[in-house]
Structure 1
Amino acid sequence: MSNKFKDTLLIGQTDFDMRANLNQKEPKFEQFWLDNQIYNKKMKLNENKKVFVLHDGPPYANGDLHIGHALNKTLKDFIIRYKNATGYFAPFIMGWDTHGLPIESAITKMGVDRKAMDSVSFRQLCYKYALEQVQNQANQFNRLGMFTDYETKYVTLTHDFEMSELRLFEKMYQKGLVYKDAKPIYWSPSSETALADSEIIYKDVTSPSIYVGCDVVNNKEFENTQLIIWTTTPWSLPSNQLIAVGEKIKYSLIEVENLDKKFILASDLLNQVSQNIGWENVKALKEFDANKLVGLNYVHPLYDQIISKVVLGHHVTSESGSGLVHVATGFGEDDFLIGKQNNIKPFAPIDNQGKFDDRISDLDPELVGMFYLDTNKIITKRLEQSHKLLKLKFLTHSYPHDWRTKQPVLYRCTLQWFVNLAPVKDEILKNVDQIDTHPKWAKRRLYQVLDERTDWTISRQRLWGVPIIAFYDQKII
């Protein structure tokens, strides 16, 4: 019956297949575009039209593409195709970022011991691996149907590209923007290198929060008295060099029922500290300005043979803590500046891997070779035994991490190269004012980030990258 009626139907005839079979046809289309140079012909056709430039922020040449790469490139491809179809000369020049830690890590995972071979041989392995990854990703982008010519791509490891970076570096140096100095910067023990602000992410961590009493000495007015400091980094206490007070803060001398010592802290924080420590029946004996504390001597919280002093600190507030700040000049930017103002050299006895090194051996040989975070328990235990630990709690807070390894970083004083952004910041922000972004909030965020940026750390303690070209006079180093 069905065959009788089939002949009576007027059904259109077509050469199109009933199924798309794109997995078979797409490679043929792509090969047709390549063989006939469709992209280059379109560029030739549009070469005298208004130019539209898309700057392709490059993917990193390490491993296969993922869905993020596909989304990024297809969105750009939509824009480029549209612009070329609506009266613009819109080339799509793709690029690859081929330097840095991920490639070093990939080579190391292959069983290569970076420290057991010379730097040239290791760099050659990185170079070869990076080019292999570029070709692999280019083949995968081609399967996505990118409207581009892969022969015009830019790759950051090429001689011309590296020379362009060094010429820009020279310009910055000639303008007095580049300098070398030892100061605290973000340091990643997991990557064994310095990091810039842009390479930092924040994750919540749980840290020990401790109130510590430091014994005042050589002062009759404050006999049997402790200065209260608060920190979430007990590991930094071996490097304590000063205690800072705030110039405009009022301080109180207090006594606590059933305790034989008196204590000094910011008046505004008296109730908060008492509650956190668990003190009851606290009596304020007297109140005074910060200047009364400046120059006061105290015993180091861990090492009785070290006597340090109290100084003014521009960063000290009475919003949290105790109003007296533990200063370790090698482990914080504000601490470093206070040390500099008081002619104290930074002390940061932690090596590239985040372990205490021989610089602490005379003071505390037990800590040598220990990872800095692993010393928190030892240090808090010692403070408890010496009756200087007033309270130990645990606090969940946001803490900086290495964006690649997702491991914690620390501020650590090391010798690095920097770019001074202050002389050019106004010009940078004026340029930001001239751009449009979609969505609008992205522009405000970009402006804020750039406005808050301090000096830019540009050096890295890695082998696979563009070397900083610097020559030294042997007579003065």
Structure 2
Amino acid sequence: MCADTPDTAVDTALPDYRDTVFLPDTTFAMRAGLPAREPEWLARWERLGVYDRLRETGKGRAPFVLHDGPPYANGHLHIGHALNKVLKDMVVRSQQMMGFDARYVPGWDCHGLPIEWKIEEQYRAKGLDKDAVDIVTFRQECRRFAEGWIDIQRDEFKRLGITGKWDRPYLTMDYHAEAVIADEFMKFVMNGSLYQGSKPVMWSPVEKTALAEAEVEYHDHTSHTIWVRFPVVGVEQDSLKDAVLKGWDDHPKTDGNSMDLKGASVVIWTTTPWTIPQNRAVAHGHGQGIDYAMYLIETLIEGSTARIGERVIVAKKLAETVKTAGKIASWVEVRDVSGDALNSMTLAHPYRGIAEGNGEWDYDVPMLPGDHVTDEAGTGFVHTAPSHGDDDYQLGLKFGLAMTYNVEADGSYRTDLPVFGGQAILTAEGKEGPANVSNIKALHAQGALLAKGKLKHSYPHSWRSKAPLIFRNTPQWFVAIDKPLDDGMTTYGGSIRARALTSINQLVQWTPQTGRNRLHSMIEARPDWVLSRQRAWGVPLTCFVKKGAKPTAPDFLLRNADVNARIKAAFEADGADVWYVQGFKERVLEGIVDPLDYEQVFDVLDVWFDSGSTHAFVLRDREDGASDGIADLYLEGTDQHRGWFHSSMLQACGTKGRAPYRGVLTHGFTLDEKGMKMSKSLGNTVAPQQVIDEYGADILRLWVAQSDYTVDLRIGKEILKGVADSYRRLRNTMRYMLGALHGFDQAERLPMEQMPELDAWVLHRMAELDAEVRSGYARYDFQGVFREVFTFATTDLSAFYFDVIKDTLYCDGPDAVTRRAARTVLDLLYHRLTRWLAPILVFTMEEVWLERFPGEDSSVHLTDFPETPASWRNDALGAKWAQVRQVRRVVTAALEVQRTAKVIGSSLEAAPQVYVDSAALQAALNKVDMAQVAITSALALSTGSAPAGAFTLPDVPGVGVAFAAASGQKCQRCWQILPDVGSHKHPGVCKRCDTVLG
């Protein structure tokens, strides 16, 4: 049957029939030229107003709302941004084409430290002091900085082919947004969950502000490690009568004093020597199953700071570790130390008496049971500084330990602290200050240092300044997540935590399911939410506190609906800057309460509260939001389980009573080809624009579609080459289809009931695939959708169906049922493939669409997936043609042997004999033109075993092929070798071609 271009084997003595063959005809280029052409389609979509037109045509449809997690407006896009936005775009486009009114309003996070930090850097470069500048002026500079980057990022997102309401995005710094954020905050004021507390929080000495867990990242850090003696100075003997004294025998090395715990030392281990001045207790884990013992030191290794004859108490499991660290050659275990014995002890602070005439550390240090103590590392005892760690703080609350206020906002000790006053823990540059070393030296001078060392471990850093953090006790504003709320919304629980856990378990669909587990464990274990930041660029905590009242007093916070309404109205009119204008307090309090009785709070809200509130001013307040204020989908990276997913959940559970989303989709991070994290210093980053400039945005989008986004994704030159190769194969399929459909019109369409079996099989495959595509898009399984469509296009179509029907398309007459059937099927394939792939390859499928349907108002993105009749599905036909294709495999493999041996040059030179040992299979094959399917000039079928020497394939049992050459002459039009060639009106052609020529 005819090949692509029948021009090399034409007998010059006969007429040239090339012009009578219906060859493919298309202007669709083989080379895409995407980098140059994609901007043309972007401009076209802009002129068409595609997104707004979809909103008009979508009226009355069920809405589908993907709520955009706002990126931060402070730099060019990275590959993670591209991954995220392309996934969102594929969701929105596919949902729209499946019949929903799919809305997507892009947004930006505009407040916060990164922008403020940039403006401060500009000030420092000019030698200016930020604190000397009017705060409103400073905030307006931050606003202008954000506006500039929004415009840049908007163009970069649009270049990726992302559809959305780009001319009216949401910004957290819009006046209405700031008003709503303040209003949402004031709901926490009114429902009783907001309180001011003094407790340790993650603190950045570089940025001089508290940070939330979502603003923290962990990097390797080398810390000092120290083993410190806390002397036992007191024992409550009554509590030891039964638990300690009974059964104790003197040890010969203890000089008869073994029953006296006084004089022994409890040894603690810590990686933060700077916290020792803040110690208020030592915690033990006897109740956690940790066994303790007293050890008498006998001999030492040179350089040890231990003392022969001293007694130390440590966990048994960690004894050898302590012994090695302390350079102790030998010691002897004197006896066990029970939990009652530990609880009976009173310790001295290691700095007791360090400053003559100053009693800073002359207090007793209690021994306390702690649930958080383990024997995985250290000594089994935990030095407890309630002001500098959450476990320590909780233990302090339980036992009434005093808080300390020794560390200032810049990470240095208060100036009047004895010995260490003014020393920095961390410098303004984020480097280690002298505090750690000073403490180590002081402990050594006190005789308290048993050992020291260094430890490389994972340590919290600010994700903005990249500097290490400390836990620091400061007055901050918190939302209590376990307190029953006074808001009447108890359907899913009374407290924020209860509502969040119910939402996670009952109201939200998770993709993948592991996202549920991660957020659930975080919410289940998290402490109260720290809302306050000590910065300038953000929405202020719009509240007032009563002068002189304690934070625990009922009237400490002003709770007044009229005041709140005035604040919101002022923000709507002039933005949050008005909070800082002189006289604002008097303006909103006048006539309601006496302004002189109240102080205005000037902390700003955590930016995660801003983004967590977006459901209110986007989903609730916009006409293109969601009628119930709940999104169908939030889609972000895995880091947002502690970020936007988390803060949105907490915020909405406090103000709406439930999660603001019905579905959450999570994607992984982007890595280089070797699986390493991308880093500018390593030179392994891949910028979106770099890929677009070389390949085009569709290749980047196809990389996303081909990847399993539920895990970390790799990208690099070799991977992109593979993606580009898949694209070229798919493009060639679409190009062939366009060429074969040249001139097709509706009059040519063949009714479904007249379809030959081969073409009906393709309809069956389309029906199967339609179900898979719709199901895959509904599950956000873009990898699965593309894999199925790509396999169908390249294997079922290009490698089989297109190959088989070439002769029909090229050589059958225009009115022939066979040609009409093939072209009808090609048209149906075109409409499905083009639209099924449109959410992924937005530019290429638009090009394919316009090749057939040009016009100023034409766009594939204004169409839906076509309905595919259920009647096309024919599983029995599908099973039969699976067998047919297996037989074809044996035939083509047998012919390839003959081709390799140069017996034949083309499969049309063959007329093989095919043997099948199954009568049922032969009966099925008898109704199939196997010569057409195998692309031979003739083919004979026989039932029974193949003769010796016949070609077989091991994985297709029961089928054998005996080669035979085709007999007759070569048709000069279709190239088949047939006996009747030369016996018709037109010289040198077969009967079929003679009929077509007329």
The two structures have a TM-score, normalised by structure 2, of: 0.44
Q: Does the CA contact (< 8 Å) of 1:266 and 1:318 recur in 2?
A: no
| Residue identity in the other structure for 1:404 | R
Query: 2:87 matched to 1:75?
Result: yes
Quickly say closer, same or farther: Cα 1:295–1:117, change in 2 above 3 A. farther
Deviates more, 1:296-305 or 1:153-162: 296-305
Which of 400, 406, 417 is the aligned partner of 1:349? Answer: 406
Query: 2:491 matched to 1:450?
Result: no
Aligned to 1:383: 443
Deviates more, 1:107-116 or 1:415-424: 107-116
Which of 236, 239, 253 is the aligned partner of 2:294? Answer: 253
Aligned to 1:415: 475
| Residue identity in the other structure for 1:354 | G
Aligned to 2:658: none
Aligned to 2:379: 322
Partners of 2:425 and 2:336 lie apart in 1 by: 44
Query: Helix, strand or coil: the match of 1:138?
Result: helix
Q: Deviations over 1:172-212 (max 9, x none)?
A: 33222211100011112232211112222222322222211
| Residue identity in the other structure for 1:446 | L
Query: 2:514 matched to 1:441?
Result: yes
Deviates more, 1:85-94 or 1:244-253: 244-253
Which of 434, 446, 453 is the aligned partner of 1:393? Answer: 453
Query: Helix, strand or coil: the match of 1:54?
Result: strand
Higher alpha-carbon Rg: 2
Partners of 1:443 and 1:370 lie apart in 2 by: 37
More contact order relative to length (CA 8 Å, sep ≥ 6): 1
Partners of 1:111 and 1:273 lie apart in 2 by: 51
In the TM superposition, residue 71 of structure 1 has moved relative to its aligned partner by 2.1
Partners of 1:148 and 1:340 lie apart in 2 by: 50
Query: Helix, strand or coil: the match of 1:472?
Result: strand
Partners of 1:286 and 1:189 lie apart in 2 by: 45
Q: Does the CA contact (< 8 Å) of 1:228 and 1:322 recur in 2?
A: yes
Quickly say closer, same or farther: Cα 1:388–1:173, change in 2 above 3 A. same
In the TM superposition, residue 129 of structure 1 has moved relative to its aligned partner by 1.2
Partners of 2:264 and 2:192 lie apart in 1 by: 50
Give ranges in structure 2 of 5+ residues lacking alignment: 1-7, 236-256, 300-307, 355-360, 483-494, 551-998
Q: Does the CA contact (< 8 Å) of 2:85 and 2:162 recur in 1?
A: yes
Aligned to 1:404: 464
Query: Helix, strand or coil: the match of 2:206?
Result: coil
Deviates more, 1:62-71 or 1:362-371: 362-371
Deviates more, 1:187-196 or 1:7-16: 7-16
Q: Deviations over 1:413-444 (max 9, x none)?
A: 01111111222212211211232222222222
In the TM superposition, residue 63 of structure 1 has moved relative to its aligned partner by 1.7
Query: 2:212 matched to 1:196?
Result: yes
Query: 2:108 matched to 1:36?
Result: no
Quickly say closer, same or farther: Cα 1:20–1:300, change in 2 above 3 A. same
Aligned to 1:143: 159
Deviates more, 1:241-250 or 1:426-435: 241-250
Quickly say closer, same or farther: Cα 1:109–1:316, change in 2 above 3 A. closer
Which of 289, 310, 313 is the aligned partner of 2:366? Answer: 310
In the TM superposition, residue 285 of structure 1 has moved relative to its aligned partner by 2.9
Partners of 1:117 and 1:463 lie apart in 2 by: 11
Give ranges in structure 1 of 5+ residues lacking alignment: none
Aligned to 2:961: none
Deviates more, 1:297-306 or 1:176-185: 297-306
Partners of 2:205 and 2:102 lie apart in 1 by: 44
Q: Deviations over 1:100-159 (max 9, x none)?
A: 111112212323542231211110101111112112211222222322222331111012
Aligned to 1:367: 423
The two structures have a TM-score, normalised by structure 1, of: 0.89
Partners of 2:28 and 2:352 lie apart in 1 by: 86
Which of 253, 259, 282 is the aligned partner of 1:243? Answer: 282
What is the alpha-carbon root mean square deviation over aligned residues? 2.8
Partners of 2:328 and 2:231 lie apart in 1 by: 19
Q: Does the CA contact (< 8 Å) of 1:247 and 1:312 recur in 2?
A: no
| Residue identity in the other structure for 1:453 | R
Q: Does the CA contact (< 8 Å) of 2:229 and 2:267 recur in 1?
A: yes
Q: Does the CA contact (< 8 Å) of 1:293 and 1:310 recur in 2?
A: no
Deviates more, 1:134-143 or 1:13-22: 13-22
Quickly say closer, same or farther: Cα 1:359–1:344, change in 2 above 3 A. farther
In the TM superposition, residue 268 of structure 1 has moved relative to its aligned partner by 4.8
Which of 227, 230, 236 is the aligned partner of 2:269? Answer: 230
Aligned to 1:290: 339
Q: Does the CA contact (< 8 Å) of 1:358 and 1:368 recur in 2?
A: no
Deviates more, 1:260-269 or 1:142-151: 260-269
Aligned to 2:173: 157
Q: Does the CA contact (< 8 Å) of 1:186 and 1:196 recur in 2?
A: yes
Quickly say closer, same or farther: Cα 1:317–1:337, change in 2 above 3 A. closer
Which of 65, 70, 84 is the aligned partner of 2:96? Answer: 84
In the TM superposition, residue 410 of structure 1 has moved relative to its aligned partner by 1.5
Partners of 2:472 and 2:141 lie apart in 1 by: 31
In the TM superposition, residue 470 of structure 1 has moved relative to its aligned partner by 1.2
More strand by share: 1
Query: 2:499 matched to 1:427?
Result: yes
In the TM superposition, residue 58 of structure 1 has moved relative to its aligned partner by 1.3
Between the aligned residues of both structures, percent identity stands at 33
Q: Does the CA contact (< 8 Å) of 1:245 and 1:310 recur in 2?
A: no
More helix by share: 2
Q: Where do 1:262-273 residues align within 5 Å?
A: 262-273=311-322
Partners of 1:336 and 1:151 lie apart in 2 by: 49
Q: Does the CA contact (< 8 Å) of 1:210 and 1:231 recur in 2?
A: yes
Query: 2:115 matched to 1:103?
Result: yes
Partners of 2:85 and 2:292 lie apart in 1 by: 60
Aligned to 1:279: 328
Quickly say closer, same or farther: Cα 1:35–1:370, change in 2 above 3 A. closer
| Residue identity in the other structure for 2:496 | V
In the TM superposition, residue 272 of structure 1 has moved relative to its aligned partner by 4.1
Deviates more, 1:316-325 or 1:10-19: 10-19
| Residue identity in the other structure for 2:161 | G
Q: Deviations over 1:62-113 (max 9, x none)?
A: 1222222222212221222222222110012111111111111221232354
Q: Does the CA contact (< 8 Å) of 2:314 and 2:381 recur in 1?
A: yes
